[in-house]
Amino acid sequence: MKEEENLKRIVREKYARIAEQGKIENAASCCGATTSTSEVYNIMTDDYSETKGYVEDADLGLGCGLPTHFAKISPGNTVIDLGSGAGNDCFVARHEAGPEGKVIGIDFTRSMIQKARENAEKLGYNNVEFREGDIDAMPVNDNVADVIVSNCVLNLVPDKPRVMSEIFRVLKPGGHFSISDIVVVGDLPEALREDAEMYAGCVAGAIQKNTYLNQIADAGFENLILQKEKPITIPDDILSKYLPEQALRSFNKDGAGIFSITVYGEKPGMEPEISDRQTNEASASACLPGSGCC
């Protein structure tokens, strides 16, 4: 538990600083947490610029997918965004849910909440709100959301099964989620797995892809779909800060992979309740003259 709280503290402090960084700096590093690369930009992020509802001021370049694009949000839906940052995915979700819908963003970094609220006020959105809290203990009642989205956040939480349980609790029966996240296939070098900066950078906290998908299924979700998958390449000028040259060469050859995946899943719906009156009517119908049962 002490280690878990320490990791949360590291992430919270790091993301308080990231909130003040620019999108280009964040997109040219690992989730804004590591040194920037001179080799490539947009290491993990996907391009939102053509997405309806996109607000540039709310895009800090911290995502690894476009979960709102796959989330099947309908007008009037209540949508929750886990790790809402400056509000980017919330504002895209708000466009899909419309003025009759409701969007709730949850983030445990106070400066991110403040930034998101300022953006919402500037836009005049009165059906988008931001709540400070942990996504493994959401400040939300049971069975509230039609849809949950999240973009490159669950990998930052030490107890991922607890987050999955919280998502299940908060979704309405029949509700669904679309989550983009970082996973790994194969073994990461120990120097990456144990580095706090790489944890905040969405890499060290990532778990095996199969383990991730199994944890979702174990939480009770059904109809799981892998909506998108793409490899993540961390440039050598970032990796060299953590790995000596020989380990760097080995890492680039041993088949280990870091991937962004977008996963969809549904919470089972309630079984239809049959009232006593319906049961009696069905029995009476079954015993009408000529039915052969009386």
For the record, the structure tokens of 254 come out as 């041993």
Residue 209 has pLDDT above 90, yes or no: yes
pLDDT tens, position by position, 246-256:
777 776 666 66
Q: Where are the domains of the chain?
A: 2-286
Q: Is the pTM of this model over 0.75?
A: yes
Q: Chain-wide mean pLDDT for the chain?
A: 81
Q: Using an 8 Å Cβ cutoff, are 161 and 220 in contact?
A: no
Average pLDDT, stretch 145-158?
92
Instruction: Please determine, looking at this structure, whether the domain spanning 2-286 carries the CATH number 3.90.25.10.
Output: no
Average pLDDT, stretch 262-277?
72
Residue 282 has pLDDT above 90, yes or no: no
Average pLDDT, stretch 253-277?
74
pLDDT tens, position by position, 222-259:
999 999 998 887 777 777 777 777 777 776 666 667 88
Nearest to 177 by CA among 70, 271, 65: 70
Q: Which residue has the higher pLDDT, 269 or 38?
A: 269
Question: What share of the chain in percent tops pLDDT 70?
Answer: 77
Q: Using an 8 Å Cβ cutoff, are 101 and 79 in contact?
A: yes
Residue 290 has pLDDT above 60, yes or no: no
pLDDT at res. 288: 34
Q: Are strands 222-232 and 257-266 parallel, antiparallel or unpaired?
A: antiparallel
Nearest to 112 by CA among 73, 62, 68: 62
Nearest to 160 by CA among 209, 111, 104, 197: 209
